Amino acid sequence: MPKIGIAKCLNQDKHQEGVDDMLKVIAKKHGKRRGDVVIAYEEDISVYAVRMWLTRPIPAKHWKTLARLSGYSLTRIESVARENFDMAAIA
Protein backbone atom coordinates (compact mmCIF):
# COMPACT_ATOMS: atom_id res chain seq x y z
CA MET A 1 0.00 0.00 0.00
CA PRO A 2 1.47 3.41 -0.96
CA LYS A 3 2.24 6.06 1.62
CA ILE A 4 0.17 9.18 1.06
CA GLY A 5 1.25 12.60 2.23
CA ILE A 6 4.88 12.81 1.16
CA ALA A 7 5.43 16.34 -0.10
CA LYS A 8 7.55 16.79 -3.21
CA CYS A 9 8.69 20.34 -3.91
CA LEU A 10 8.23 21.35 -7.54
CA ASN A 11 10.05 24.70 -7.33
CA GLN A 12 12.22 25.10 -4.21
CA ASP A 13 13.44 28.60 -5.06
CA LYS A 14 9.93 29.98 -5.54
CA HIS A 15 8.73 28.35 -2.31
CA GLN A 16 11.66 29.75 -0.30
CA GLU A 17 11.09 33.20 -1.79
CA GLY A 18 7.39 33.14 -0.82
CA VAL A 19 8.08 32.04 2.76
CA ASP A 20 10.98 34.47 3.13
CA ASP A 21 8.84 37.37 1.87
CA MET A 22 6.12 36.47 4.37
CA LEU A 23 8.66 36.34 7.22
CA LYS A 24 10.00 39.76 6.18
CA VAL A 25 6.47 41.21 6.25
CA ILE A 26 5.89 39.77 9.73
CA ALA A 27 9.21 41.18 10.98
CA LYS A 28 8.52 44.64 9.52
CA LYS A 29 4.97 44.72 10.87
CA HIS A 30 6.24 43.98 14.38
CA GLY A 31 9.33 46.20 14.23
CA LYS A 32 11.83 43.34 14.40
CA ARG A 33 14.61 42.05 12.17
CA ARG A 34 13.53 38.40 11.88
CA GLY A 35 10.02 37.11 11.29
CA ASP A 36 10.81 33.61 12.53
CA VAL A 37 11.75 35.02 15.93
CA VAL A 38 8.53 37.06 16.05
CA ILE A 39 6.50 33.91 15.39
CA ALA A 40 8.42 32.00 18.07
CA TYR A 41 7.93 34.81 20.60
CA GLU A 42 4.23 35.43 19.85
CA GLU A 43 3.18 31.79 19.44
CA ASP A 44 4.23 28.38 20.70
CA ILE A 45 6.16 27.53 17.53
CA SER A 46 9.92 27.02 17.68
CA VAL A 47 12.30 29.05 15.54
CA TYR A 48 13.64 25.75 14.18
CA ALA A 49 10.16 24.69 13.03
CA VAL A 50 9.57 28.04 11.33
CA ARG A 51 12.92 27.84 9.54
CA MET A 52 12.02 24.35 8.29
CA TRP A 53 9.10 25.95 6.43
CA LEU A 54 11.70 27.22 3.94
CA THR A 55 12.08 23.64 2.69
CA ARG A 56 8.77 22.04 3.70
CA PRO A 57 5.07 22.91 3.37
CA ILE A 58 3.70 25.08 6.17
CA PRO A 59 1.28 23.01 8.30
CA ALA A 60 -2.34 24.10 7.96
CA LYS A 61 -2.71 24.41 11.75
CA HIS A 62 -0.44 27.50 11.64
CA TRP A 63 -2.15 29.34 8.76
CA LYS A 64 -4.50 31.41 10.95
CA THR A 65 -1.59 32.51 13.14
CA LEU A 66 0.43 33.52 10.09
CA ALA A 67 -2.55 35.39 8.65
CA ARG A 68 -2.94 37.32 11.90
CA LEU A 69 0.76 38.13 12.23
CA SER A 70 1.36 39.03 8.57
CA GLY A 71 -1.95 40.56 7.52
CA TYR A 72 -2.14 38.12 4.59
CA SER A 73 -5.43 36.43 3.75
CA LEU A 74 -5.83 32.71 4.41
CA THR A 75 -5.93 32.14 0.65
CA ARG A 76 -2.57 33.83 0.24
CA ILE A 77 -1.09 31.86 3.16
CA GLU A 78 -2.33 28.63 1.56
CA SER A 79 -0.77 29.67 -1.73
CA VAL A 80 2.61 30.33 -0.09
CA ALA A 81 2.37 27.12 1.92
CA ARG A 82 1.29 24.65 -0.74
CA GLU A 83 1.38 25.92 -4.34
CA ASN A 84 4.91 24.62 -5.02
CA PHE A 85 4.33 21.17 -3.54
CA ASP A 86 2.84 18.00 -4.93
CA MET A 87 1.61 15.43 -2.46
CA ALA A 88 3.16 12.30 -3.98
CA ALA A 89 2.45 8.69 -3.23
CA ILE A 90 5.49 6.48 -2.75
CA ALA A 91 5.17 2.74 -3.07
Give the total number of structural domains in the chain.
1
The CA distance from 74 to 51, in Å, is 20
pLDDT tens, position by position, 44-90? 899 999 999 999 999 999 999 999 999 999 999 999 998 888 876 45
Could you tell me which of 25, 20, 21, 10 has the C-alpha nearest to residue 83? 10
Q: Which pairs with CB-CB distance under 8 Å and at least 24 residues apart come from 72-77?
A: 72/22, 72/25, 77/22
**What are the pLDDT digits (tens) for 7-57?**
888 899 999 999 999 999 999 999 999 999 999 998 889 999 999 999 999
What are the distances in angstroms from CA 46 to CA 7, 18, 37, 49, 52? 21, 20, 8, 5, 10
Range of the domain at 46: 3-90
